[in-house]
Amino acid sequence: MSVLAPDRVLGQILIAGCPAGEIPLPSEMTDDWLSREGDPVRLAQVAEPFMTRPVEPELMERFGQDAATIGRAALEGTLNAVMSTSFTDRLASITAPTLVIAGGGDAMFPPDALQTAVVAPLANAELEIIDCGHEIPIEAPRELAALIDAFLADLG
């Protein structure tokens, strides 16, 4: 949206973001993820290796149940869009205030990688790091909410 319709974006928040370039995930990984469609237990297990904080089992169960309602077409479409789309050449055109929130222990997209690939190319971006893994909304909801509140307050 920030590239295609910048006049419609007052600010943006990227949570556990990823680079703006293509991501060459192994087909074995994506096939495994897609095979979990409709299975709440197996879908919740996808998040576990990317977390560094303990999460209540009830929350992970609810996460899995919600994820299980997403159909294969949506799962596959999201993976394909993320894996095969690049707009790195257009990042410098984004002027909207941007808050990038990273997990300090995110093994998938570490803060240093986000700083280089996402924050640095943007004209008006800042990086905030929370002591958690990739699943920030599940692992650190209060810290995330506080950062979002502060960012929105600054936008006016």
Q: Which residues pair with 87 in a beta bridge?
A: none
Backbone dihedral angles phi then psi of residue 80, each to the nearest 5 degrees = -65, -40
Q: Tell me, letter by letter, the H, E, C secondary structure of 83-145.
A: HHCCCHHHHHHCCCCEEEEEECCCCCCCHHHHHHHHHCCCCCEEEEEECCCCCHHHHCHHHHH
Q: Is 14 helix (H, G, I), strand (E, B) or coil?
A: strand
pLDDT per residue rounded down to tens, the chain (156 residues)? 898 899 999 999 999 988 888 888 889 989 999 999 999 999 999 999 999 999 999 999 999 999 999 999 999 998 888 888 888 898 889 999 999 999 999 998 999 999 999 999 999 999 999 999 999 999 999 999 999 999 999 997
Fold of 1-21+92-156: Rossmann fold (3.40.50)
Q: Is 129 exposed, middle or buried (0-12, 13-18, 19+ CB in 10 A)?
A: middle
For the chain, what is the radius of gyration of the CA atoms? 16
Domain ranges of the chain: 1-21+92-156, 22-85
Q: Which residues pair with 15 in a beta bridge?
A: 101
